[in-house]
Amino acid sequence: MNILLVEDETRVADFIRRGLKAEGHNVEHSPDGETALDLMRAYSFDVVILDLMLPGISGTEVCQRMRARGDTTPMLMLTALDALDERIAGLRAGADDYLPKPFDFEELLARLEALYRRAAKFSADGDVGIISHAGLRFDSKSQKFFVDGCEVELSAKERDLAVLLLGNVGRALSRERILNTVWGTQSDPMTNIVDVYIGRLRKRFGPYGGRIVTLRGSGYRLD
């Protein structure tokens, strides 16, 4: 999973981040709500862990702003043990689940996995089967990819990479995120396989190949 952790307590953030990375997940950390909102505008996350008590704007307000702009990323809110009213407010603001502090890491992991599975199932059930951008189109039911209406043959990994790009138009995708999503967590992080396959997709995309932008030292973005 690609996870955004919004937590201002350094000790707690380090504990969560180390544990999640040890499980093979990618973790981006934000110490405050404003930075978190900027990150969510620029990048795609599978799950957000959001502390309720943050400097500046509260976790509840962060959640409200996310939902108001149509961001449906699953959200797990971390709360103080006795903050019942705040937990209720957080859920009503759009949080999907909450976990009181102090918590067991295994429970945190289980709740994140449950949110991720639920979101994936909802997406699959509600998907009309078409992902498209400009002249690019992927039919998830037939597993066919089209450029300007003409079918283009893709290998399994090319297809997975194309779908990842199409599902995150305008958002930066790190090489680590691409490697983790398309090839799995056991892949060698030093491999250049991502760059090789991006080169292949630029050719497969035909006149739209130039829309795959290289972010030097970071990753790629489909404009």
Q: Are strands 2-6 and 26-30 parallel, antiparallel or unpaired?
A: parallel
**Cut 0.75: pTM above it:** no
Return per-residue pLDDT of the chain as tens, 223 residues: 889 999 999 999 999 999 988 887 889 999 999 999 999 888 878 899 999 889 999 888 998 888 888 788 889 999 875 667 777 777 778 888 888 888 888 889 888 888 887 776 555 444 446 778 889 988 877 888 999 989 999 998 898 899 888 888 888 888 887 887 787 655 565 678 899 999 999 999 999 999 999 988 778 999 9
- CA dist 11 and 4 (Å) reads 16
Q: How far apart are CA 67 and CA 76, in angstroms?
A: 14
How do residues 178-193 score in pLDDT, each as one tens digit? 887 787 655 565 678 8
Would you state the pLDDT for residue 190?
64
Other beta carbons less than 10 A from residue 98's beta carbon: 20
Burial 180-205 (b: 16+ CB within 10 A, else e): bbbbeeeeeeeeeebeebbebbeebb
Closest to 30 in 3D by CA, of 16, 117, 22: 16
Angle at 213 between CA 197 and CA 176, to 5 degrees: 55
